[in-house]
């Protein structure tokens, strides 16, 4: 993997060459029948491999240096995993703790990919996954000093952005020019969306506060690395600074997105794109999510008041203004204007109760003002967190805030443990040993699963249960190779990784390897892009949920990247690194 933090130029060149060789292994190759986390294990971690289609009853661990068997174990009974249609067995070796480099051997099968047991398996991947945000900066020169061969000119300064007629007000009529620089490109496209930025920044801020030891001292080798703020904070600020410009200063409402009228540049670099860009509509979901996120940011960044004088208070004031706009406009759902055809992040049909609850929880945590506890109502059923499903975020904040009234705090914790214990049952009953069901294979399935892991880890902070950590580890194992495709779903991280992601820069830069550190969306049976992909040679090999994936740039439904998906992986890796 690339280590762009504090390395010398010769090391950069050698590391890049090794990565290039690593990535030339195409994701379309037949998966190894022995699937395991390609980043290996720590001595104290749980250790499990999935063995597909074997009659063997046992397995061996082979030391690569000596070629000798150093461990023998019994395989579990075979079981069917409905998500892939495979009959598999588990090889568990938690008690094997010797540092080294190994293969797993099952008698009639090809040996596994090599893996290590050491104490640093996630340290470099964590850096790579965070640095993906730097590569996705809007309005910045991505310099060779920091990016190597992925350097590119500045693009989309967004200092001239037009107010779209859907966002027009008397104070800012259609065509008004505003400045809205910085921010991250949201996904594979070159646009920026507030709803998705909300949960992305919120997840990163949560990781910082809850796993500070893993994040605050990281050296990311970004332009701000020489200042007196942690690099991780600097990267988050690049997007928060943009988010602040998306609030109408006249009424406090949030523009839903900043975008061109159509998706542009699928095979063109961003600095070649000069189409006009617009702020489009205001929405209640964007404003409430923003209120929650900025309230959270105000508490987290208060620690850096000396470096950022007045910034924390500015964020809290902005959060309150967004809340006030939402009170006046409680159900404004984003509707795509006739001349706009970019990402919608629409909430039509949603009652927004979860967004209201999220904003209340964070504003109360930031202010202690009991007005935000009025009409608190918890949902009957909790969903895995996503950009439009945020009730569990609110419940965790209520449950972890000692100032929350005891009845609300206890009820929130009960709701959380009820759902996380349900996920434990899913993991125990799974042939793959992971808390993943066929229903989890939705658009962005990898992030969906990681958000399960995050909630398991967060609830573990409130009510410790080793099984929560075990299942969170298993989900991360799945992401890095313990899956039916036998691949790591993170570009450049692992031995068998995505090569042709739906990410415009990676598709257009002429470099064989995609930018490292991006989590792809992952398999899901909707195959919404099949008609688009088939003429380009992107063919889905299966309709099974866990196999429905194409390693092709056409596949926005399985192989795109987004900032919120990466945020979930940042949290999980930080938690398991600390």
CA 523-529-532 angle, 5° bins: 145
459 vs 3: CA distance, rounded Å: 32
Tokens of 364: 């109360």
Helices then strands, counting H and E runs in the chain, come out as 16, 13
Length of the chain: 578
Q: Which helix (H) or strand (E) holds 117?
A: strand 115-117
Phi, psi values for residue 108, rounded to 5°: -95, 5
- DSSP one-letter string for 523-575: --TT-TTHHHHGGGT---S--SGGG----STT-TTTSBB-HHHHHHHHHHHHH
Phi, psi values for residue 532, rounded to 5°: -75, -35
- Hunting for tokens 């064989």 — which residue is that? 512
Tokens of 425: 């049952």
Q: Are 271 and 153 in contact (CB under 8 A)?
A: yes
The DSSP 8-state label assigned to residue 114 in this structure reads P
From the number of C-beta atoms within 10 Å of its C-beta (0-12, 13-18, 19+), residue 328 rates as exposed
Tokens of 387: 């950009």
151 vs 494: CA distance, rounded Å: 23
Bridge-based pairing state of the strands 278-282 and 161-163: parallel
Q: Are 176 and 248 in contact (CB under 8 A)?
A: no
- DSSP one-letter string for 245-312: HTB-TTT--BEEEEE-SS---TTS-GGG-----EEEEE-HHHHHHHHHHHHHHHHHHGGGTTTSTTHH
Give the CA distances from residue 336 to residues 96, 262, 283, 505, in Å, rounded to whole numbers and listed in that order.
55, 12, 11, 26
How many other C-beta atoms are found inside a 10 Å radius of the C-beta of residue 466? 9
Phi-psi region of 2 (alpha: psi -120 to 50; beta: other; left: phi over 0): beta
3-state class (DSSP) for residue 58: strand
| Active site positions, annotated | 189, 502, 551, 560
Sheet-wide strand order for 177-178: 177-178, 161-163, 278-282, 255-259, 192-193
136 vs 341: CA distance, rounded Å: 21
């Amino acid at each position: 993997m690339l280590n762009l933090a504090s390395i010398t130029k010769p090391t950069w060149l050698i590391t890049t060459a090794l990565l290039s060789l690593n990535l030339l292994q195409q994701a379309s190759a037949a998966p190894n029948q022995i699937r395991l986390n390609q980043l290996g294990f720590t001595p104290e971690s749980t250790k499990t491999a999935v063995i597909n289609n074997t009659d063997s009853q046992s397995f061996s661990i082979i030391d690569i240096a000596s070629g000798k068997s150093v461990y023998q174990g019994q395989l579990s009974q075979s079981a069917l995993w409905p998500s892939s249609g495979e009959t598999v067995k588990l090889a568990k070796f938690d008690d094997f703790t010797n540092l080294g480099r190994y293969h797993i051997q099952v008698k009639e099968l090809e040996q596994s990919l090599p893996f290590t047991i050491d104490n640093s398996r996630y340290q470099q991947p964590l850096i790579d996954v965070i640095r993906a945000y730097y590569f996705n900066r809007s309005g910045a020169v991505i310099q060779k000093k920091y990016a190597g061969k992925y350097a590119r000119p500045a693009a989309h300064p967004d200092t001239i952005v037009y107010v779209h007629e859907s966002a027009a007000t008397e104070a800012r009529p259609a065509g008004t020019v505003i400045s809205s620089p910085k921010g991250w490109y949201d996904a594979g496209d070159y646009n920026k969306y507030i709803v998705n930025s909300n949960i992305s920044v919120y997840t990163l801020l949560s990781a910082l506060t809850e796993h500070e030891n893993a994040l605050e001292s990281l050296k990311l080798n970004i332009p701000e690395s020489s200042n007196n703020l942690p690099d991780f904070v600097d990267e988050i600020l690049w997007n928060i600074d943009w988010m602040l410009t998306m609030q109408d200063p006249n009424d406090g409402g949030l523009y839903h997105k900043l975008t061109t009228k159509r998706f542009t540049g699928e095979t063109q670099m961003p600095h070649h794109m000069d189409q006009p860009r617009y702020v489009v509509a205001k929405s209640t979901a964007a404003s409430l999510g923003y209120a929650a996120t900025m309230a959270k940011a105000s508490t987290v960044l208060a620690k850096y008041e000396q470096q950022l004088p007045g910034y924390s208070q500015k964020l809290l004031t902005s959060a309150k203004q967004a809340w006030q706009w939402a009170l006046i406009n409680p159900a404004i759902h984003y509707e795509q204007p006739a001349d706009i055809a970019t990402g919608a992040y629409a909430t039509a049909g949603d009652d927004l109760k979860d967004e209201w609850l999220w904003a209340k929880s964070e504003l109360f945590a930031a202010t202690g003002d009991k007005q935000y506890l009025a009409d608190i109502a918890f949902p009957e059923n909790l969903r895995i967190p996503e950009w439009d499903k945020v009730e569990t975020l609110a419940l965790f904040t209520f449950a972890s805030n000692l100032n929350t009234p005891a009845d609300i705090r206890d009820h929130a914790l009960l709701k959380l443990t009820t759902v996380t214990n349900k996920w434990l049952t899913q993991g125990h009953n799974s042939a793959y040993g992971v808390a993943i069901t066929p229903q989890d294979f939705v658009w962005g399935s990898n992030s969906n699963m990681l958000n399960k892991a995050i909630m398991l880890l967060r609830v573990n902070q409130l009510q410790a249960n080793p099984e929560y950590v075990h299942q969170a580890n298993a989900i991360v194992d799945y992401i890095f190779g313990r899956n039916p495709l036998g691949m790591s779903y993170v570009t450049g991280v692992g031995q068998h990784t995505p090569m042709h992601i739906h990410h415009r820069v990676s598709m257009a830069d002429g470099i064989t390897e995609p930018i490292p550190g991006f989590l792809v969306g992952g398999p899901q049976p909707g195959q919404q892009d099949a008609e688009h992909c088939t003429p380009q040679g992107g063919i889905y090999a299966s309709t099974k949920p866990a196999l429905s994936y194409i390693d092709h740039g056409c596949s926005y439904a399985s192989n795109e990247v987004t900032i919120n998906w990466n945020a979930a992986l940042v949290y999980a890796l930080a938690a398991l690194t600390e």
